[in-house]
Chain A
Amino acid sequence: MGKVITKIIIIIFVLSTHQVFSQFDNPEGNDKFNLLTRGHSLIGSNFNSYYSSNSVHYKFLSSLMGNKYIDDELKTSVKLKDDNRFGSIQDLNLYYISYPDSFLGTNQYGFKVSMGYHSNMNMKFGADAFNLAFRGNSYFAGKKADLSDLNINYLVYQDLQFGLFTRPSDDNPLTYYLGFSLIKGQTYYSIATEEAWLFTEETGEYLDLRLQGLFMASDSIKPDLLEFAGTGFATHLFFNYDNIVRNFSVSLAVDNFGYINWNQNSFLVEEDTSLHWEGIIIDDILNIEDGQINGFSDDTLQKLLKQEEHSVNFRKQMPERVQLSFFKRTSKMNSIKAGLIYLHDVNLKMPLFYIRDFYDILRAEKIGLQLNLDAGYGGYSGFQTSMGMTFATGSKEKNLLINASTNFLSFLIPKHTFSQNIFVCLSYRF
């Protein structure tokens, strides 16, 4: 009875904080090593779509991604702060893991081959940047829109990974994994301003733009899935300690330690410029030619950013990910997971520290339903709580596992939910 009351209190707390988060699940599938015993293999796929912010709620994001109209009420409902953060990650991984009786002349090694599609968008922005983008510059008539310290990154890449794992003996609770990825860079954009602002004169008589920052973009003529805009290399490490007797495990994963070389047609410029704009100067107002206006946007902006002069290849570090987690089954129906997650160079305020409590709502032979309550601190926001649901089906006999989880509060209170996660895992062991 006491536990039930505790859960109710937690639920009330979650709803009242109006902040939720969802986990960063490891999309690499390395947690599947433990499912394998010698002489078996596993094929699986993980799909993870995640977003989190300290200001942009799910309703706004779903309207944006769902191609809906964003009205003023929706814009106003965004909880803007001086320092706003947003991060979005999509990963799709297909992997094959084998732990054969003998490999490389010993019986201690297994291997993994995987391929994945990854997309990562993250940004740090001030309230002015949001209002300029979604309300326009007339919102700032007579004022400066401060765009300083704006940082936006968008990265899409695919990888092909090979790796070896070892478990020194069948009884040994330790698992080690070392993997290497060949990376195909598809798209990369980065904007990082130092000092930037746009001043709009009160009646629009002139605009003053100050732009100081670093701008990078990958080859714009190779934006498609099958095109190579860049190539790279990354390493992956995984360690797991599984204590079956005491029902707990500890794991550490370091992924994407590497870089991408973006090709010669990429664009990198350190811009430090000021622009005063008073309109297109017409010598004879009575003979305006249409081309004078059409010609402005492309040519002038291109000159401003001097694109032609800055086509250059450059190397960019991958967004490395470090995950440390501790998992313990506390009772037959209950377990907890705690840890930290850190991604480098993706505008995280700090590592995300979290604790998750799993409660088995349904635990039948072929189906399971789990409620999870989460609390965390860091990541793209401060203190966060969330409530998720995990569905699993499969059987030991048929070795099929389907696992899906999501943060369902985002569907119930979308204007008060600041993160969402959809995680789907399918795996088959044979």
Chain B
Amino acid sequence: MKKGLIAVFCLIIIALLFQNCKKEATSPSWDVGILAPIIKTTLSIDNLVNDTLTQTGPDSLISIVYNSEMYTMALDSIIELPDTTIQYTINLENLDIGNYEIVYRTSLGDIANRDMEENGPGSDLYVTIMNAHNFGIPSTIDPIDQQVYENISMDAGEYFQTITIAEGFMDIEMDNQLPMDITNLIFELKNTDDGTIVFQDTFYVIPAFTTMTRTKSLAGLTIDGNLTGTVKLESPGTGGNVILDTAMALTSTITIRDLEILNATAVFPNEEMIDLNETINVDPGDQTFLNRVLVREGSINVTVFNTIEQPMHFNFTLYSATLDGEFLEIEGNVPAASGTTPGSLLINKNLAGYDVSFRGIGPFEMIWGDLNGNEIIDAITSNSLYYKLTGGIDSTGAMVTIDQNDSIYLYCHFSSIIPDYAKGFLGNHTADETGVTDFEVVEELEDTYISLDDVRVTLEIASQIGVQAAIFIDELVSVNNRTGVQVSLSGPVLGEPFIISAPDDPYSTSIDVIPSISYININSSNSNIHELLENKPDQLSYSVRVETNYGILPEPGSSGTDFIYYGDALSASLNVEIPLSVIASGLILEDTTDLELNAGDVEDVLGGRLILIANNYFPFQAQVQMYLMDSLYNITDSLFTEPQLVQAGIINSETGKVHNPEKSKLYVDVSKERLNRILAAKKVRIISNFSTQPTDEHVKIFNWYTLELKIVADFNYRID
């Protein structure tokens, strides 16, 4: 016992020690590659101007253009596609529960037997008919007194239990294939349960081998599935010898047809109840006539409610919308209602990426013929979508009750549609914009470099919207908040329409629209602009107005060629261009700053490289070198083995601007030893050698130009 206890406790102690040892032991280790951006910074003209532009040297002109954006008209100002709904309700009026047919046959044999029942086996008529039939001897049937066939069961119970009919007809067809005329035929049909007469009529003469039909309206009647019929008939006989066959018969065919029901308990067959080829109009308003939209965002929700105790299916195909060559198609199966709870189905489909033609049903009818049944090929139009909706009941074979309150309700809702591209006649829009923009000329430049005579003021309109427009300057006020003085613009330039031409359509959402640029020079000949500048404004107050399709009448139909892409805009800005005389090449920026890095952050870094990524809008390139120094300014290392180049932004020859930054990647190998030197450094000297590009041209520096720098670490790191 004692040994056992000792052994057990030893095991526990060993196990606990194992747990404790694990905590105190060193960790496993492995190396991982870390690739991540560490620092991002953006240098603007304000960061550079103090140092860079105040240097002197060989000549080339640089102009700083102070660009104050005043107005932007984007896609949502021009096109707003309204949420659009398609609703369709199928009720009993639309429900075809089919035709029912009941056949009752009275043969010559039946007539013989009836006579035998009434007059005994030796009755004349029975004997005559049976002998003639059995021996094939032509015989004469004498006139027959009235025979009554009662309680004839005409059971339609497998199709329906009861139907209350709003509209409908019953056809009684009497096909007399007997060799004798039938006279005074009274046909009566009534509901078995309550004895209500459904049909009663008399056929006075039905000649032999002829058919007669009577039709009766069933409106307002309630018909049971269990019907009882009565047939009374007489005959003048054959009037001579004829061949008799007991199979010869008078056949009564009752057809209940074209029913519009108020309520019914019936077996509803599989039935396609909906087959619509329709169009829906989408009106963006403002005299806009669209013929094509590429959808960026948006959705279609289809909701179907079914109060009928039978499942149903539907298919909604929007032929006007395609994605990768496939039409937009939504289909589903809606479960049957359960008691008072309707079956329902909700389907949401993302419309992003769909190419939607707004030209209506016309283009499809030109290929597929008349689709909407109006017996013409519809014209191509605008703001119109073509869709096809089909659906029907999927019969379970069960008997279900439907009344006037039952329906199938289908609701399609297009919502929150934002175009990526829209084409058509984009309407006559007028948009006013009033606002205030900061206008702060770099202080260092104010006194030294501004010569008022050389300053050029221009209203620049850049339009990426494919529509002709006109812009009006209604007001421009120079505001000096330091002095409280305001000076308003006056002269012919005010209120005058300036036409903005439309850019070319690249016909691709992946290619930027090259904006059409229009300039309105505001100078002393058309305004008092110098008075505004002499006021040394720190703000500009303005009111401008843009009218699209200015002076152009609306073009209904599909011929419009205006276009707009998502993200593109018509913008107006005020450019104040201040020419400066500065160095064009060999411009040196040198700065030294303190450096204090924590070795704890990087002690597990094994080495790797730093990547300096520069996205440069400025039209000058820069050679960069960074020197690490100790506290006594002794250089301990340089980051680059040789100076590396940050490429200049490329000026667009048409607009004179850099539209896309030029990307450069500079690599710095960092070994563990070098990393330690970086950590030990106390100061860093950054030397940049700037050169304008191209070197022999006058370049403009816009105040929104930036140099974005990112430092990315690509290090091996030991995890332990």
Contacts and interface: CB of A to CB of B under 8 A. Distances in A.
Interface of A: 43-45, 47, 63-72, 75, 92, 94, 117, 133-139, 141, 200, 203-207, 225, 277-290, 293-294, 398-400, 402, 424, 426-428, 430
Chain A contact residues, majority secondary structure = mixed
Contacts of A402: 7
B34 interface: yes
A279 B37 contact: yes
B29 interface: yes
Given A92-B15, A285-B43, A427-B4, A137 B33 contact: yes
A204 B36 contact: yes
B591 interface: yes
Interface of B: 1, 3-5, 7-8, 11-12, 15, 19, 25-41, 43, 47, 591, 593, 595-598, 601, 611, 613, 665, 686, 709-714, 716-717
Contacts of B38: 279-280, 293
Given A225-B19, A279-B711, 11 more contacts: A43-B4, A45-B11, A63-B28, A136-B33, A207-B36, A280-B38, A281-B40, A281-B41, A282-B39, A287-B593, A427-B8
B39 A47 contact: no
Contacts of B41: 281-285
15 contacts: A43-B8, A66-B28, A67-B26, A94-B12, A136-B31, A138-B34, A138-B714, A203-B611, A205-B710, A277-B37, A279-B711, A280-B38, A402-B7, A424-B11, A426-B4
B37 A67 contact: no
A388 to B, nearest CB: 20
A428 B8 contact: yes
Contacts of B5: 43, 428
A359 B681 CA distance: 70
Contacts of B598: 290, 293-294
B644 to A, nearest CB: 15
A204 B37 contact: yes
B18 to A, nearest CB: 9
A293 B665 CA distance: 22
B457 to A, nearest CB: 31
A277 B28 contact: no
Contacts of B8: 43-45, 94, 426-428
Nearest to B8: A45
A277 to B, nearest CB: 7
Contacts of A289: 596
Contacts of A43: 4-5, 8
Contact of A70 (B7, B15, B30): B30
Contacts of A135: 32-33
A294 B713 CA distance: 15
B40 A64 contact: no
B34 A136 contact: yes
A205 B613 contact: yes
A292 B649 CA distance: 30
Contacts of B31: 72, 136
A137 B709 contact: no
A203 B34 contact: no
A399 B8 CA distance: 13
B37 A430 contact: no
A430 B28 CA distance: 45
Contacts of B611: 203-204
> Nearest 9 CB-CB pairs, A to B?
A428-B4, A136-B32, A138-B33, A279-B37, A138-B35, A136-B33, A204-B35, A70-B30, A204-B712
A161 B73 CA distance: 75
B596 to A, nearest CB: 6
Contact of A278 (B665, B710, B714): B710
Contact of A428 (B7, B43, B717): B7
Contacts of B4: 43, 399-400, 426-428, 430
Nearest to A296: B38
A67 B29 CA distance: 7
B590 to A, nearest CB: 12
B717 A136 contact: yes
Contacts of B47: 284
A70 B28 contact: yes
B283 to A, nearest CB: 37
A134 B32 contact: yes
A47 B4 CA distance: 16
Nearest to A94: B12
Nearest to B20: A225
B380 to A, nearest CB: 43
Given A45-B8, A75-B30, A400-B7, A428 B35 contact: no
Contacts of A206: 37
A293 B601 contact: yes
A139 B33 contact: yes
A65 B18 CA distance: 12
A279 B39 contact: yes
A63 B30 CA distance: 10
Given A290-B596, A400-B7, A428-B7, A67 B30 contact: no
A66 B27 CA distance: 8
A137 B713 CA distance: 12
B713 A67 contact: no
A144 to B, nearest CB: 14
A302 to B, nearest CB: 18
A117 B667 CA distance: 53
In the complex, which of the residues A67, A94, A136, A402 has the most CB atoms of chain B within 10 Å of its own CB atom?
A136
Nearest to A65: B28
B25 to A, nearest CB: 5
B181 to A, nearest CB: 84
A375 to B, nearest CB: 30
Nearest to B32: A136
Contacts of A225: 19
